[in-house]
Amino acid sequence: MQKPADIFARDAEWANLAEFATTATDYPRLGVVSGRRRQGKTFLIEALATLTGGLYFGATEATETESLALFATALGDHLGQPSPPRFDSWDEAIRFLFSVDPAHGPFVIDEFPYLSQVSPALPSIVQREVDRAASAKRGINLLLCGSVTSVMGRLLSGTAPLRGRATLEMAIRPFEYWLARQFWEVEDPRVAVLVHSIVGGTPAYRRFAASDTPQSLDDFDDWVLRTVLNPVRPLFREARHLLEEEMNVRDSALYHSVLAAVAAGNNTRGGIANYVGRKATDIGHHLTVLADSGLLRPQPDVFRAGRSVYRVAEPLITFYQVVMRAQWGVLESGRAETVWRAAKARFLSQVVGPHFEQMCRDFALWAPPELFGELPGEIGAGVVPDHSRRSQIEVDVVVMAPAYPGRPKKLLSLGEVKWGEVMGRRHVERLERARHLLSKNYDTSETVLACYSGAGFEPGLDPKVLTVGLDDLYKSFA
Ligand SMILES: Nc1ncnc2c1ncn2[C@@H]1O[C@H](COP(=O)(O)OP(=O)(O)O)[C@@H](O)[C@H]1O
Ligand SMILES: [Mg+2]
């Protein structure tokens, strides 16, 4: 089944979904599609249902009675019944669904958590019917889909009744950065990094910006004013919407402050607690909820077990926290230009700088294995204590070989990232020092030192040092 032309990328996702939807079996097949909002889940599964002649039902926030009526109508229409069935409970509705000729499938229920939130028994009902169909050797292709909020996160987690029953479990993620560049049709890699540092790889944001793409580096500031800082564009309010939708909680002020702390670079648990004015133990729950909903990502320090830093997973939220939040009123009144002028330096240091580091780690993760000698086992950042100098060295891109028991871990690469600095001898010296310090505990015999720069490199660098510039960041994935 051909992927529709308006679906960009997602080739593997489409192939898996198409296989799922078009395979007839004598056992029930349950698929679960999840992912953060705006990543294109509905876009994919609706197209799938249309092309296969299956049922697409998109649940909304509603009472159980209303949802049942909407589901009955959708199912009745789909089956061409003159009058819709009547369901008094999900028990009836799901039993009915499982009795329908599977040739009418696949059956796709989108925003499933809206239903199960109001009707908590629903997942167990589905589970029971799946088990019954399995013992009766009856086929059905049922696809459940939902956004990963803290609620959905729990629904699909290990203890959820449906988990072990799914034959397809697919997470729809943002586009990788090089795909995002193609999706946004940005030619210049420098502009592509800047755009990515604001909108990331979330597909919906192109439309939220009215498909407006910066034409050149000179156009970038104006593009920011035309799109994300423009009150009439959906992108303007998106970060706030995301936070509201995700944080269906009381006490949302504390969640906002936690995100603000991380966005500003206070990203250890202690640092966050200090910034928001609470004890570290008092924000544990909030950190968990934010991580469950995919907004915060804990990132372990590769050198120091048990230490991790938090990062904001959605670039737009970082941008909102750093550039927009404190000036919301001024921005709403349409005076974005003053705000942007004042925020530009903060944007470069707090948004682009850290974001570029993450892009370089993504590069290392996806780079061809020759680059570091072998396929990496782990990529991350880490801090190397330098006791004799009473300081420490932060290593932005650490590439480790897969670990083998009984052997010291092999460091494939140590890298430093600078968005706005020409890199040279002094950066390499720091990396050499880090390698020397690490050689006590790691195999550093083949460690490649790497400089990743958005501003270029001094001439005459040791040719053994790997240099990754903006073009390199993209060209492996053209
Ligand atoms: N693969 C894609 N190619 C082109 N546009 C996409 C793609 N995925 C998502 N979009 C755009 O993003 C919008 C939002 O996607 P949607 O399916 O509603 O996200 P979700 O259901 O994950 O919240 C879509 O309406 C579409 O405009
Ligand atoms: Mg959707």
The pLDDT of 431-438, averaged and rounded, is 98
The pLDDT of 187-203, averaged and rounded, is 98
Read off the pLDDT band of 152 (50, 70, 90). low
Of the bound ligands, which one is closest to the alpha carbon of residue 40? 1
Consecutive H or E run containing 284:
helix 284-292
Residue 7 Cα, ligand 2 centroid: separation in angstroms?
Answer: 15
Cα dihedral value 466, 468, 473, 474, nearest 10: -90
Our answer on whether the CB atom of 203 is closer than 6 Å to any ligand 1 atom is yes
Give the integer Cα–Cα distance in Å for 301 and 305: 7
Q: What is the pLDDT of residues 159-186, one digit of tens each?
A: 567 767 888 989 999 999 999 999 999 9
Q: Please tell me whether residue 184 adopts helix, strand or coil conformation.
A: helix
Q: What is the pLDDT of residue 252?
A: 80
Q: What is the pLDDT of residue 304?
A: 92
Q: At which residue do the structure tokens 């009795």 appear?
A: 99
308-312 and 378-386 strand pairing:
unpaired
Going by C-alpha positions, the residue among 195, 174, 245 that lies closest to residue 356 is: 195
Give the integer Cα–Cα distance in Å for 171 and 124: 22
Of the bound ligands, which one is closest to the alpha carbon of residue 182? 1
Average pLDDT, the chain: 93
152 or 195: whose pLDDT is higher?
Answer: 195
Q: Please tell me whether residue 313 adopts helix, strand or coil conformation.
A: coil
Read off the pLDDT band of 107 (50, 70, 90). very high
Q: Are 200 and 315 in contact (CB under 8 A)?
A: yes
Of the bound ligands, which one is closest to the alpha carbon of residue 59? 2
Q: What is the pLDDT of residue 166?
A: 85
Ligand 1 atom nearest 8 alpha carbon: 3
Residue 423 Cα, ligand 2 centroid: separation in angstroms?
Answer: 43
Q: Are 413 and 398 in contact (CB under 8 A)?
A: yes
Read off the pLDDT band of 154 (50, 70, 90). low
Ligand 1 atom nearest 43 alpha carbon: 17
R_g (Cα) of the chain, nearest Å: 25
The pLDDT of 184-208, averaged and rounded, is 98
Given a cut of 60, whether residue 157 has pLDDT beyond it is: no
Domain limits, the chain:
11-171, 179-363, 367-475
The pLDDT of 145-149, averaged and rounded, is 79
Q: What is the pLDDT of residue 11?
A: 97
Q: Do domains 179-363 and 367-475 have the same CATH topology?
A: no
Token pair recorded at residue 51: 């092309």
Token pair recorded at residue 3: 């992927």
Q: What is the pLDDT of residue 460?
A: 93
Q: What is the pLDDT of residue 476?
A: 83
Assigned CATH topology for domain 367-475: Trna Endonuclease; Chain: A, domain 1 (3.40.1350)
Among 43, 144, 152, the mutation site with the greatest number of ligand 1 atoms within 8 A of its Cβ is 43
Q: What is the pLDDT of residues 321-349, one digit of tens each?
A: 999 999 999 999 999 999 999 999 999 99
Token pair recorded at residue 57: 């039902």
The count of C-alpha atoms lying within 13 angstroms of the C-alpha of 379, restricted to the half-sphere facing its C-beta, is 18
Our answer on whether the CB atom of 149 is closer than 6 Å to any ligand 1 atom is no
Read off the pLDDT band of 1 (50, 70, 90). confident
Angle at CA 66, nearest 5°, toward 65 and 72?
90
Our answer on whether the CB atom of 40 is closer than 6 Å to any ligand 1 atom is yes
User: What is the CB neighbour count within 10 angstroms for residue 136?
Assistant: 11
Q: Does domain 11-171 have CATH number 2.60.40.720?
A: no
Assigned CATH topology for domain 179-363: Arc Repressor Mutant, subunit A (1.10.10)
Omega prior to 106 cis, within 30 of 0: yes
Helix axes 189-199, 353-366, angle to 10 degrees: 110
Give the integer Cα–Cα distance in Å for 276 and 434: 33
Residue 41 Cα, ligand 2 centroid: separation in angstroms?
Answer: 5
Token pair recorded at residue 224: 């920011």
Given a cut of 80, whether residue 132 has pLDDT beyond it is: yes
Our answer on whether the CB atom of 41 is closer than 6 Å to any ligand 1 atom is yes
Q: What is the pLDDT of residues 201-222, one digit of tens each?
A: 999 999 999 999 999 999 999 9
Q: What is the pLDDT of residue 159?
A: 52
Q: What is the pLDDT of residues 245-302, one digit of tens each?
A: 776 666 788 898 999 999 999 999 999 999 999 999 999 988 988 888 888 999 999 9
Q: 0.75 exceeded by the pTM?
A: yes
Give the integer Cα–Cα distance in Å for 104 and 99: 11
Percent share of the chain, pLDDT over 70: 96
Given a cut of 90, whether residue 57 has pLDDT beyond it is: yes
Residue type, 266: N
Q: What is the pLDDT of residues 370-401, one digit of tens each?
A: 999 999 999 999 999 999 999 999 999 999 99
Residue type, 180: A
Helix (H) and strand (E) counts in the chain: 21, 12
Q: What is the pLDDT of residue 147?
A: 82
